[in-house]
Structure 1
Amino acid sequence: MSTRRAMLVQAILYLGACLGIILAVQQLWEAERGLQHLRAQVGQVPVEVLLPAEPEGPRPAVVIAHGFSSSKQMMSPFAYTLARHGYVAATLDWSGHGRNPGPFPYDWSAVHAGDSALTRELEAVLAYVRSLPEVRGEQVALLGHSMGSAIVTRYARDHGEIAATIAVSAIFSDVLPAQPRNLLLLTGALELPRLQAAARAAFEASGGGSEGETAGALAAGALAAGDARRLVLVPCADHATVALSPRALRETVQWLDGTFGRASEGAVDTRAVWVGLLAACALVLFWPVSRWLLQGWVDRPGPCPLELVGVLLVLVIPAVAAPLLLRWLPYHTLPLAAGDYVMSLLALQGILMLGLLAVTGCLDAPTLGRFFSGRAWLAAALLTACLVLAVGWALDRTLLSAWPTPQRAIVIGAAFLLVAPYFVCADYVTRAGSRGLNRI
């Protein structure tokens, strides 16, 4: 391909990416139309309430709980869908997750026994939601995913005033034939077999059987009587994507409509599609932006081209040794569930990689200084800022807690410092070891 033709193709690609970003932003903006956001801090727990903007008097409410190492953003498809159908939907961040500054209570026995700090957080959020003038206090349902499903199912089992419970990717099966009331179990058809078995066990323990199967779902009882049970294997969904599935969203609305005697109308949430388009287009533009920021620095060759054996040693030994060593090291110092382990793992792996590169003589002081120079840090900060500005705000509204906040400033700074050696070494090995990598 000639240089002129290549430049034309690049120009068309970049123009298309810009247009894609404009379209995605417009659609994400449109998704907010007609909805009202209320944000509150219940103790340490950040709560976001989503409801229709037009006044209609008190409405039924649903408190939505995310799973382990997730955040309230992951559950926003349920919140947006329910708000579009006339419900008040409240999402929360558990301790150690999202914007909740509290440390995660690593006491799984207490979580399953319903006697943990997380259960008390749920009680506080429920009290807050019931106090809202927009909420009909006696019409409250719970929805939880994975770990969140265990907490809300246990709570609803012990509190008969909860009108309905939706357990997504259920992991808790200690239920009763009459409690919780109106139990809907949603599990991805691509879910792990043991989690599918947990959902089926919960269905059977709650009084369901295998004789009422229709349209890929098992059902028993009646919504009007409060003893309805339904188990749905959601097609083409796994543990995470079940929260984005249109089938799961529709099943949830229909279940709650039947519970509260409503006939709501509205669309299911599709913002994840537009976030995907936005992210893809931003990544297309990321390459020229990064080349421009690192011009004159990134193409300098490493001083010691690694052979294949050297590349494998530097990559494989730390990857195997770091998880083993971390078993005996304290890593629950950062108040982030799962994030504390990931950052500690990458930090340890980076230190081991630096040591191996130094021992082999491939990473001397001048080279190390170039990688940790002021320009390198500035470029890394600018590239991170570009990604956050491009897709962070959109992800923060739909899937992940991705927008920096003052509460997380220290954690973000610590994470940046902890993982920097790993990514510096990975970049160095990729370029200095290109001769060895080309043989693979």
Structure 2
Amino acid sequence: MKENSVTLKAGELPCRLTRARAAAFRASGQLPPLKEPAKQKNQKQPQLRANPKRAVSDNACLQRKKRAVLQDVTNVFCENTYRSCFNSTKIQGKKSKLAKASRINVSKVAPSAAAQQHVRVHCKTKSFPEPAKKCSPFPIALRDPEIANIDDDNEDPQLCSLYAADIYNTLRVYELARRPNPNFMDTKQHDITQSMRGILVDWLVEVSEEYRLGLDTLYLTVYLIDWFLSRNYIERQRLQLLGITCMLIASKYEEINAPRIEDFCYITDNTYTKAEVLKMESQVLKSSGYQLFAPTTISFLRRFLQAAQASSKSPSLELEYLANYLAELTLMEYSFLNFLPSTIAASAVFLAKWTLDQSKHPWSPTLQHYACYKASDLKTTVLALQDLQLNINGCPLTAIRSKYSQDKFKYVGSLSPPKLPETMF
């Protein structure tokens, strides 16, 4: 007991306690006084680990597993987010403040966004005119049980079933706005004739078959030719140059792998050079205002053929080939510029159905609904198309007839329609 009392009164050592000094104390029978450091008296929690190189405390490491709940951060600056990430101990305390601030910012921004959206819708309705004949969507036509719904197939994304009615209403507007002048031979051209134009189109049909171009490319080619001739005078020596240039532009627009300029120069027996084709290409693009898209007959023909076969269990390839053949014949004939592309497409379907089947009326209620034409509206065009089909045998331009007289097109080029009675209209 005495030794212990002496040891407790010894006070603290003037120097650091090492293992050598501790051994000396044990040999002499004395123990050094145990005194806690001053900084440990005020410390509330024990230090888990000591790492002088770490700036973040161990308490922060324990709380790192707790994540802030995801909340609405609309209109909250990123600076606040970064600060809350680095100061994890204050996240829970700032939740309510951030939520209040976000609600205030949303209420301030919402009226201006709604007003801006209202202005955009107001301008959009003024900039696009309504078509003269607007086809009603199918829910209105559902009242008539004789009209089939051709837009109920939502599995094929290329049909655009949800927007088909709006798409074709817009095409009807643009077929009027982007229509070539039907009298350009009399008003603009003095060196070329209608027969020269027909020879050019007949040759371009052979070129499209040679390079396996699509029908959209062929129709767009003829459209670009007529559009350019409606606004620019051209000599007959450059008419073929215009034809291959328009087909080059149409190929670039429609085809995946378009023929090269050298291919079109070669097909003309190198009559024109690459520089001449490029120069003509620039002139055609400037003349069209760089607006290459325009509704053609093939744009409406696909839609009308779909309506014509709505009640059929399987599509008729013969009907499609014959309608395409009749529509293609109109490309060579200059007088058909007086008719709209939608009218020509509807008349081609009308005459094709009558040629294949005379047992029933070719114009069904479904066709009348989706084509937006009555049978009486098509009388002039159908009769003109029938005359063209009957007189094609004596025409020297045989590219289209030879094309559709092949086995792959079921020889529809050799078919002749019976006479149409007046009761059909």
Pick the TM interval, shorter chain: under 0.3
TM-score when normalising by structure 1: 0.26
**Structure of larger gyration radius:** 2
The answer to which structure has the higher strand fraction is 1
The answer to which structure has the higher helix fraction is 2
